[in-house]
């Protein structure tokens, strides 16, 4: 009876199929994080320093991406691309939507880090003769980075897991490849355990990198 618990038809080819899906997950995460971070930094700085007539419309647009579930955004974007004549692959659609989705949250992370710098610190920097650009690059950005990094790491790990939703538009990533194998061999616990382990192995280095940077900064304070 106990020996039957360890019998499986899962093969090395199945593992290779899942690892290829994991590669797609990493690619989606990489492009989403790159695009989302660049847009988030730009939008976050604008949200922190721009006048209300710029801040309010930008905030309203970003609220749309934060308020609508990611799955709906993916399905709508993949459907409307043909209507407007954009011939993107489902992978490209997934990257773009995930990047915009991440940028909406990254904007608030950057803005909060920017606003966390005390006004007295900035006034002191200016009184010492620093220009506005020097104030930003040498005072504001280093402090804001330390404040924003933990939230950014959490957001990055969240986006990595959110990539599982792109299978709704036809992208075969890690979770979808796992579901294909489960359908074929009918061993969901075993297959999903392997998928969970692969997700952990992809996420753990990112989490450790963030913790290492925080520790180094505390030691240098």
pLDDT of 13? 92
CA angle (87 as vertex; 84, 92 as ends), nearest 5? 110
Query: What is d(CA 10, CA 18) in angstroms, rounded to the nearest whole number?
Result: 11
Q: How confident is the model at residue 220 (pLDDT cuts 50, 70, 90)?
A: low
Using DSSP's 3-state secondary structure scheme, residue 131 falls into coil
> What pLDDT band is residue 3 in, cutting at 50, 70 and 90?
very low
Beta-carbon contacts of residue 93 (< 8 Å; ≥ 6 apart): 74, 77, 78, 81, 169
pLDDT score for 27: 97
3-state secondary structure of 49: helix
pLDDT tens figures, 111-149: 998 888 887 877 787 787 877 788 778 888 888 888 899
Largest CA distance in the chain: 79
Of the chain, the percentage scoring pLDDT greater than 70 comes to 96
Q: Phi and psi for 116 in degrees, rounded to 5?
A: -75, -15
Could you tell me the pTM of the whole model? 0.90
Mean pLDDT of 57-68: 94
Ramachandran sector of residue 131 (left: φ over 0; alpha: ψ -120 to 50; beta: rest): beta
Q: Where are the alpha helices (DSSP H) in 6-118?
A: 12-49, 52-67, 70-83, 90-115
Is pLDDT at 39 greater than 80 in this prediction? yes
Residue (of 54, 40, 33, 82) closest to 206 by Cα position: 33
What are the tens digits of pLDDT across the range 165-197?
999 999 999 999 999 999 998 889 999 999 999
Q: List Cβ neighbours of 129 (8 Å cut-off, separation of 6 or more).
A: none
Q: How far is CA 46 from the centre of its chain?
A: 21
Q: What is the pLDDT of residue 221?
A: 61
Which pair of structure tokens corresponds to residue 9?
């038809």
Q: Over range 2-10, report the average pLDDT.
A: 62
In the block, residue with structure tokens 């180094």: 216
For 13, the token pair is 């080819």
Residue 215 pLDDT: 81
The residue extents of the domains of the chain are 30-166, 172-221
Six token digits for residue 162: 């959110």
pLDDT category of residue 6 using cuts at 50, 70 and 90: low
Residue 22 has pLDDT above 90, yes or no: yes
Mean confidence (pLDDT) of the chain: 89
65-92: per-residue pLDDT in tens? 999 999 999 999 999 988 888 889 999 9
How far apart CA 19 and CA 199 sit, in angstroms, is: 10
CATH code linked to domain 30-166:
1.10.3720.10
C-alpha dihedral, 203 to 205 to 206 to 207, nearest 10°: 80
Query: Is 18:164 a contact under the CB 8 Å cutoff?
Result: no
């Amino acid at each position: 009876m106990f020996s039957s618990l360890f019998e499986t038809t899962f093969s090395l080819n199945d593992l290779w199929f899942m690892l290829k899906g994991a590669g797609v997950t990493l690619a989606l995460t990489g492009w989403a994080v790159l695009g989302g971070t660049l847009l988030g930094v730009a939008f976050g700085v604008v949200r922190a320093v721009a006048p209300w007539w710029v801040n309010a419309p930008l905030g309203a647009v970003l609220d749309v991406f934060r308020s609508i579930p990611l799955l709906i955004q993916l399905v709508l974007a993949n459907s409307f691309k043909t209507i407007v004549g954009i011939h993107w692959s489902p992978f490209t659609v997934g990257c773009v939507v995930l990047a915009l989705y991440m940028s909406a949250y990254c904007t608030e992370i950057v803005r909060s880090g920017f606003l966390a710098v005390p006004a007295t610190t900035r006034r002191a920097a200016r009184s010492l003769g620093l220009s506005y650009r020097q104030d930003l690059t040498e005072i504001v950005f280093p402090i804001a980075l330390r404040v924003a990094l933990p939230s950014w790491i959490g957001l990055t790990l969240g986006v990595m897991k959110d990539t599982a939703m792109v299978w709704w538009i036809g992208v075969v990533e890690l979770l979808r490849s796992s579901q294909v194998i489960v359908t074929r061999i009918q061993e969901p616990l075993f297959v999903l355990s392997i998928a969970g382990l692969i997700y952990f192995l992809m996420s753990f280095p990112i989490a450790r990198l963030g913790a290492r940077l925080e520790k180094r900064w505390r030691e240098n304070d």
